[in-house]
């Protein structure tokens, strides 16, 4: 970085070379300590191209002491399952979209998913 004094204000000019990640294609600059600076908009460019994933463990319906693992994208999951309930006669009954949205929204906020991704904000970067 180059320093330049203008009046009483010291200006710092960033002379680091901007690089492009070979795998994901985001732009970044390398720091002397080995860390990198990535602008939030670059991260969002990558995320906008990625599928929403469903990942984790959940209890088995037959044996709640045993957990199943899931790792798939949400769109594939929803295309291959029925979202519904089983009525008293063993038939699958669909559930209205509003009810599904409410369940997702309640779990989203209950689990704190709105706070999962956070970035260290650096002023003027």
Give the pLDDT confidence score for residue 119 in this predicted structure.
59
CA 51 to each of CA 21, 64, 66, 122, 123: distance values in angstroms, whole numbers, following the listed order:
19, 29, 28, 28, 30
Integer Cα distance of 67 and 5 in angstroms: 62
Averages of pLDDT over runs of 10 residues in the chain (125 residues) are: 57 73 91 88 91 92 89 94 92 92 92 70 49
């Amino acid at each position: 970085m180059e320093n330049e004094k203008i009046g009483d204000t010291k200006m710092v000019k960033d002379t680091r070379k901007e690089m492009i990640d070979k795998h994901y294609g985001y732009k970044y600059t390398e720091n002397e300590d080995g860390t990198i600076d990535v602008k939030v908009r670059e991260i969002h460019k990558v995320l906008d191209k990625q599928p929403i994933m469903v990942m984790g463990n959940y209890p088995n319906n037959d044996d709640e002491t045993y957990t199943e693992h899931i790792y798939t994208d949400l769109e594939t999951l929803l295309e291959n399952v029925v979202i519904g309930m089983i009525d008293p006669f063993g038939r699958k009954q669909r559930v209205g979209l509003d009810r599904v949205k409410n369940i997702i929204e309640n779990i989203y906020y209950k689990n704190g998913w709105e706070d999962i991704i956070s970035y260290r904000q650096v002023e003027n970067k």
